[in-house]
Structure 1
Amino acid sequence: MLLYERVATALRTQIAHGTLRAGERLPSIRHLAQGHGVGVATAVQAYLQLEREGLVVARPRSGYFVRASTTLPPAPRPARNRAPGEIKNPALLDATEAGAHGALLPLHSATPAFDLLPQAALKASVSRCLRRAPAAVFDYAPAQGHLALRRLIAQRYAQVGAPVSPEEIVITAGAMEAINLALRVTTSPGDVVLVETPTYHGILQTVAALHLKVLEIPNLPGRGIDVARLDHLLQQNAVRAAVLVPNFNNPLGSLTSDADKQALVSRCARHGVIIIEDDIYGELAWSGQRPSPLRRWDTHGIVISCGSFSKMLAPGLRLGWLAGNPWTDALVRAKFFSTMGGTSLTQLAMSDYLQRHDLERHLRRLRRTLADNGQRLLEAIARFWPADTRVCEPQGGMSLWVQLPERSDSRALFEAALSKGIRISPGVLFSSRGDYVDYVRLSCGLVWDQRLDRAMKELGMLVARLGGSKVKAP
């Protein structure tokens, strides 16, 4: 037996016997080599072999971890041939996104916990702006947004191979206002809009509020947008626009490949479909490698790119943007007619923060934490939830999409969890027709502690009781 195989076998045995548990960090390459009396190259080979077998997972700058491989992927569902129609989902139309109240544990919220944000640096930037430029802070912001911030956003697009001019960027109150403005400018009531299924309920609520019809395209676990089905949908239906989340779809966390992104843009251009890209999670790749936005492959000027600082820096500052050429002038007018402009203080403070601090350093820490939390959630589901629970393992973002055992109802679980002080998102919110009744979305954005571990155990017992499954032993 080769040396690296001997080391791999020893680790494989420890994982099988539960000595090394799912989600647990493995020894560093140096310590592994020293512990087994082998060279560093041999230790690397052993980890690479276990990674190929799916037993361990590597995280940039964090090391190797035991993979939570005891959970099953979601069961495949046949594609439904539905005609475009208005959104008819009472749970969706009556829902509002709100923070947890009182002592509720916010496992429903796909936003980072306060302790994961660069609080001190952001506070210093706000104080500096108030102290040094009070006249600018208390004045109206331009409808398009302050130029300094637009330039900094354009620089980040250039870094991922998608050049954008600061002159086509419009600052908004978060990504949802950006999507709302883009739809208002490019569509009229009654138009058909293509969206993914499942997708974020805020997108569906915006489409409903603008009296647009919706046509759903599947987002596949681990693969992203079903581009193979796109041609059929566009040939059979007159679609005006598509609101898509190719980078870490909410709630699946799936990533559409570069090849499929390129094909998607090409086919939408061929059919005259405007793409409104929600890239709010693009910076949160758990691998550490930021995927490209659709804008990179847009040679026809059909992509409006929307983003936000909410998920990576500060949800409460309500700072988003869109890059809308050739619709920039119309978007600025729409912004002016609705709110005149944004808030100068938040825009100036964000510009100050981005100029003075290393955003990439913060993002590396945040990505590692989200990846760790995702593994911990998977481990908790494997330990505490019924054995036939299925999970879509995300590649980025802040969400974990969980399929409950057969005959389970996420609405009943939502009510039962509330009574225990836990808030989750039932799957029916992520479909225009109330599908996914057997799914829930959980947040990876909380700080992991004993309370969260106990909550996952409590949820596992609730799932088992409501679905008639056997409760796992602690």
Structure 2
Amino acid sequence: MADSPPNYQAIANRLRAAIRRGDLAPGAKMPSVRRLAEIEQVSAPTAEHALRVLEASGLVVARPRSGFYVCADMPAEPLAPQPGATARPVTLTANVHALFAQVRAPGLIALGAASPCAAWLPDKALARSMLGAARRLGASGLAYSVPPGRLDLRSQIARRAARWGLHISPDQLVLTQGQSQAMRLALQVTCKAGDVVAVESPCYFGTLMLLRSLGLRAIEVPTHPRTGMDLAALAQILQRHRVSAVVSVPTANNPLGFTMSIADKRTLVRLLDDAGVPLIEDDVYGDLSAGKPRAPACKAFDESGNVLYCTSVSKTLAPGWRIGWIAPGHRFEAVLEARVEASLAGSPLFEAALADMFSSGDYDRHLRRYGQRIKDSVRTFSSRIAAAWPAGMKLRAPDDGFLLWVELPAHVNALSLCEAAASEGISIGPGAMFCPDGSRYAHHVRINCAQPATPKLLAALDRIGALAAVQA
């Protein structure tokens, strides 16, 4: 598998660098699709794809019948965080519970929680698969699905994984009750209370909550919003600290949105294999590639069984079905035992219905529509934030997935902003939730773009900008 990016991405990278250097000034017209295709010696669709990538990143804007222009008020990218390499307990729970309390409020405009819009999920296809599964299974659909779970679903998962380079047997998979249980099992079999786990900084708050519940300490690894975990810094941490596991979201990262390069994924796997430290890979957003070929997971490069791969359909298909899975490598037996102890069994009806969604092609058809909707909303949200939020803020549209990470000006306190927005029925995710003790990212917020850019929602984004502006 080649390490070089596809042509459109390589072109977009070169243009992005030119914009960042100032070679293409704010407001300047970009080369036309035809001219760019001539310069780069590629097809017109490839050239247009490169420009659309820049548009989705908020760097350029398309004007009807005129072309593409560098954004006049182009926001800079958020800075790469630089946390101190000290292992600490997780103490952020108050912020997380406050967010979930907001989500339960009726009529809330939910920009904080990373949940897909229900209207974008394929309810008819899901119902059809569920009814078909109920007819096939009959009374057996009311029984337990004993771990490792139904073979038909595990076989479909293995077939899908082979498309992007992960060749795994169905017998190497354990079905779980969602992504959170998969991650919990991975932590349980690799760590014990008091151990240190290395995480990206900022880190998904759900992972931090799991560490807290298991009595584990977190050590943060500097993570760049474009390239991912600083592998040199990680190597130093591994030399200086006794780390029991590394947790990473290397594809469509939550909250930063980056997807690590294939070369860096290989390096990460090799680094941890050499160190004898397991990698717990959270790939729950991996299928959200917005029309591009699906990025291979780190697990695809795992030759020793050291990577514990965790994912689910919670962000892509049916959050309420609570179906996830883990490919735990050489820790399969330990994970299987822990899965039985955790909740004894799963639901055969939901598992059979998901196997049908995969085999019928309904899931792939949904992903194509869903991915385009996300891409359009990310582009619209990014442009609106760039236009309506205070000068000096920094944002980078995600490589994949639907989350925006925004750095506000230093005088804007994200927690205060979130409280003000919540009082007006708008929920956003404060950056402090993504730090073990809430001591950093005081000027950052995470925005969920997996919903249609309705006038009401765009007005809510404008209102957040207005609330931020008054914090001068």
- Residue 288 of structure 2 is matched in structure 1 by 284
1:66/1:251 CA distance change after superposition, 3 Å: farther
Amino acid at match of 1:453: L
Task: Report how far residue 258 of structure 1 moved.
Answer: 0.9
- Residue 139 of structure 2 is matched in structure 1 by 135
**Secondary structure at the residue paired with 2:395?**
strand
1:75/1:293 CA distance change after superposition, 3 Å: closer
- Structure 1 distance, partners of 2:317, 2:334, is 29
**Secondary structure at the residue paired with 2:89?**
coil
**Secondary structure at the residue paired with 1:326?**
helix
1:211/1:44 CA distance change after superposition, 3 Å: closer
Cα displacement string for residues 342-394 of structure 1 (whole angstroms, at most 9, x for unaligned residues): 11221111112222234222212111111111111111112211121111221
Task: Report how far residue 319 of structure 1 moved.
Answer: 0.7
**Secondary structure at the residue paired with 1:193?**
strand
Task: Identify which of 242, 246, 253 aligns with 1:249.
Answer: 253
Q: Do structure 1's residue 83 and structure 2's residue 101 form an aligned pair?
A: no
- Structure 1 distance, partners of 2:290, 2:452, is 16
Q: Is the 8 A contact 2:108 2:427 kept in 1?
A: yes
Q: Do structure 1's residue 455 and structure 2's residue 456 form an aligned pair?
A: no
Q: Is the 8 A contact 1:222 1:393 kept in 2?
A: no
Amino acid at match of 1:454: A
**Secondary structure at the residue paired with 1:109?**
coil
- Structure 1 distance, partners of 2:54, 2:77, is 20
Unmatched tracts of structure 1, length 5 or more:
1-14, 21-26, 34-40, 59-63, 469-474
The number of residues matched between the two structures is 433
Q: Is the 8 A contact 2:197 2:246 kept in 1?
A: yes
TM-score (norm 2): 0.85
Task: Report how far residue 129 of structure 1 moved.
Answer: 2.0
Cα displacement string for residues 59-83 of structure 1 (whole angstroms, at most 9, x for unaligned residues): xxxxx97776744234435623332
- Residue 224 of structure 2 is matched in structure 1 by 220
Cα displacement string for residues 82-137 of structure 1 (whole angstroms, at most 9, x for unaligned residues): 32121233535755646442111111121211111111010111122223322121
- Structure 1 distance, partners of 2:266, 2:45, is 35
1:107/1:329 CA distance change after superposition, 3 Å: same
- Residue 472 of structure 1 is matched in structure 2 by none
Amino acid at match of 1:117: L
**Secondary structure at the residue paired with 2:284?**
coil
Task: Identify which of 438, 442, 445 aligns with 1:437.
Answer: 442
1:43/1:232 CA distance change after superposition, 3 Å: closer
Matches within 5 A, 1:322-337: 322-337=326-341
- Structure 1 distance, partners of 2:43, 2:294, is 30
Q: Is the 8 A contact 1:262 1:297 kept in 2?
A: yes
- Residue 4 of structure 1 is matched in structure 2 by none
Q: Is the 8 A contact 1:240 1:272 kept in 2?
A: no
Cα displacement string for residues 435-459 of structure 1 (whole angstroms, at most 9, x for unaligned residues): 1010011101112211111111111
- Residue 117 of structure 1 is matched in structure 2 by 121
**Secondary structure at the residue paired with 2:88?**
coil
TM-score (norm 1): 0.85
Q: Is the 8 A contact 1:71 1:391 kept in 2?
A: no
CA RMSD of aligned residues (A): 2.9
- Structure 2 distance, partners of 1:127, 1:67, is 51
Q: Do structure 1's residue 303 and structure 2's residue 316 form an aligned pair?
A: no
- Structure 1 distance, partners of 2:348, 2:388, is 48
**Secondary structure at the residue paired with 2:246?**
strand
Structure 1 residues 128-137 or 69-78, which shifts more?
Answer: 69-78
